[in-house]
Structure 1
Amino acid sequence: MSLEHDYFGLVGDYWSETFEYADQRVEVVLDADADLVSIAALDVASAMVGELELIDDELRQAFVSQLDTKSSPVVRYLDTVLDPELEQADDIDAAIGRESGDRQVDALRSMSLVRVDLRPDADEPGDAFAEYEYALAPDDTDERLIVAIDLEREIVDVRFEG
């Protein structure tokens, strides 16, 4: 069965587009099986694409709120990428475009949103409906901070991948 959506067109297995905003190139991917998704879930996914910048800001604020928890994935990510012994330390320093005096906050605000994966078949509250992948100096490092949100934009998971 095929399914057509106003924004995504004919829904198959894979849809991808690159968006540019705030000096970032963000790849947005929709991974959907037409037999498993609803028009309502696709509408939520298209709204997330339209509000990419707003959701990005909300997620960065959530990252800042996790700085008080030393075992959080956000702190583990920052401890790794901000390590002065890291081979790419100069690239990381060059990627931090702000200097407020709080290096961790500056790093979070300087990260690039690299990719957004939309999964409209995960359409229940608490399901990972979308994953936002962030990196500081993404061309020079492999470390990623990934946050999953549900269709109501509640964070369901934050993880550090390196």
Structure 2
Amino acid sequence: MAIEHDYFGIIATEPGGGVYWSDNIDVGEQSVSISLSAPDEDDIPADALDLAAAMILALEGFDLRSREAMLSEVDDRTSEVTEYIIQAVEELGESLPDVLVDESGDRDVDVIRSMTLLSVGFAPHQHNGDEAFAIFEYSLDADQLDGVLMVAYTSDGEVTGVTSED
């Protein structure tokens, strides 16, 4: 079977019943990998696909909100955002200025502003809940750093947290 949607087109069902769709879209000057997956086609309400499509169409605004969420955590010296920035600065060393898009004098702001949105993953089966409906994944320099920061959103468009992953 398959699901048909105005934005996503035909989303094929995999042999185990799960669904997966992906594409790359341009956001500003960067190409972002977008994916949508669910373990079972029957768990995806139609309005969840509409919501995912709306979030994709408003990706620049969600990107800004994600960066604001990261920035709100830099005052907490034990936050994963702060730890990511410290680790990235240490790993990049003298090449840090090469990856910064602007140097304002506030290292934390400069790092967050310079991060690249790599991908956005949607879990439409987690619609209308507290679980992550969308995960935005960022890196300061994906070629040189292993770690990423991830900003999670509920289906209501609320940020639920910022985490890091190696």
Check whether TM > 0.5: yes
Matches within 5 A, 1:69-84: 69-83=76-90
Structure 2 portions without partners, runs of 5+ = 13-18
Larger CA deviation: 130-139 vs 30-39: 30-39
Aligned length: 159
Provide the residue aligned with 1:98 in structure 2.
102
Q: Taking structure 1 as the reference length, what is the TM-score of the superposition?
A: 0.92
What is the root-mean-square deviation of aligned Cα atoms in Å?
1.4
Residues 46-86 of structure 1, C-alpha deviations (whole Å, 9 max, x = no match): 00110111100011011111111111111111011011xx2
| Residue of structure 2 in register with 1:47 after alignment | 54
1:124 aligns with 2:128: yes
1:119–1:130 Cα contact (<8 Å) kept: yes
- What secondary structure is seen at the aligned counterpart in 2 of 1:43? helix
**Counterpart AA for 1:51:** A
**Residues in 2 aligned to 1:65 and 1:158: alpha-carbon distance in whole angstroms:** 10
5+ unaligned residues in a row in structure 1: which ranges? none
Deviation string, structure 1 residues 71-117 (Cα, Å, up to 9, x no partner):
1111111011011xx2x434443111111110110000000000000
> Percent identical across equivalent pairs?
37
Determine the C-alpha separation between the residues in 2 that align with 1:117 and 1:93: 30
TM-score, with structure 2 as normaliser: 0.90
Query: Aligned ranges for residues 11-90 of structure 1 at < 5 Å?
Result: 11-12=11-12, 13-32=19-38, 33-83=40-90, 86=91, 88-90=92-94
User: Quick one: distance in 2 between partners of 1:140 and 1:131?
Assistant: 22
Asked if the contact 1:133–1:146 (Cα under 8 Å) also holds between the matched residues in 2, the reply is: yes
